[in-house]
Copies of this chain bind each other. A is one copy, B any other.
């Protein structure tokens, strides 16, 4: 294993120090390094907090800022943050309108965010994301896993909070976006958790993990490597079958897991879009890039969110974070 590290146990704090130093106008480090917080809080706005294991960057810290999150709580690589992180973050960013926790559906994350809600003094609502259609339960989750669709929830609810929506309205909107979102991922290689020092799983030179999780958890099945078009067709089918209807406007997010070049992600975007359009979806919004990663894993996921005028408007609304910036 070769990585840019000094000591493994210093990787996350040193990385966070670099992060806030690079983006000092947008974010700062709070609670002795326990969380990243937005620099200019909007008084009376519902505060949005997310978090989870590190290794998925830019999720979540890269999405702290105007129009998205107010704080992000990073755990060690692929390890839940602790309840005191979320509780301290809530105390730091709650300006009186309450706090919404956006939590990916992994047992550790859900449990620790729940404990944080109990010990912190804020009024808390939570949205649990579970957009991954691959499997109904997995290594660290009961029920579906929360994956790249989480950033769509963060963006849309972030815009609503910025526009003055109440805590209850933000929570309901988040659940509605999650319910309108489906994702599926495939991996060509594993990734290596620094503290483990060896690849999370073995995969042959001619194999593909269909339905992989964002920590390298097993998906639906291991299959022989296929053409991009064949892979995209099966991904699009998995999403289409899971929706009741295959009609209407939608956002298509093609997300890289970290180790796949952009030329391949754009090729996959073209293939996925083509299959989804044939299935009846109208792709009216798009995003392509490495947004919810699995360290240096080669692979990608497709996320489809059904849109109406309200959701499109919130998606288009200004955002100013380290890793997502538009409209201002």
Contacts and interface: CB of A to CB of B under 8 A. Distances in A.
Interface stretch (A123-131, A170-178, A268-276): A268-276
Contacts of A265: 4
Interface string A8-23: 0001101111110111
Nearest to A225: B2
Q: Is the interface of A mostly helix, strand, loop or mixed?
A: mixed
A268 B57 CA distance: 15
Contacts of A2: 188-189, 205-206, 208, 225, 298
A287 B25 CA distance: 13
Contact of A4 (B286, B288, B300): B300
B55 A263 contact: yes
A328 interface: yes
A245 interface: no
Given A22-B286, A267-B18, A296-B298, A261 B229 contact: no
Contacts of A225: 2
Contacts of A310: none
A219 interface: no
A195 interface: no
A89 to B, nearest CB: 19
Contacts of A266: 15-16, 18-19, 22, 57
A121 to B, nearest CB: 31
Contacts of A221: none
Contacts of A264: 3-5, 11, 15
A290 interface: yes
30 contacts: A2-B188, A2-B205, A3-B188, A4-B300, A5-B227, A6-B227, A6-B228, A6-B267, A11-B264, A12-B263, A14-B228, A14-B267, A14-B270, A15-B263, A15-B264, A18-B268, A18-B269, A18-B271, A19-B288, A22-B266, A22-B286, A22-B287, A22-B288, A57-B261, A57-B263, A58-B262, A259-B296, A261-B295, A262-B293, A290-B290
Given A14-B270, A261-B295, 14 more contacts: A2-B208, A4-B228, A4-B268, A5-B264, A11-B263, A14-B228, A14-B271, A15-B263, A15-B270, A21-B270, A22-B286, A22-B288, A261-B293, A296-B298
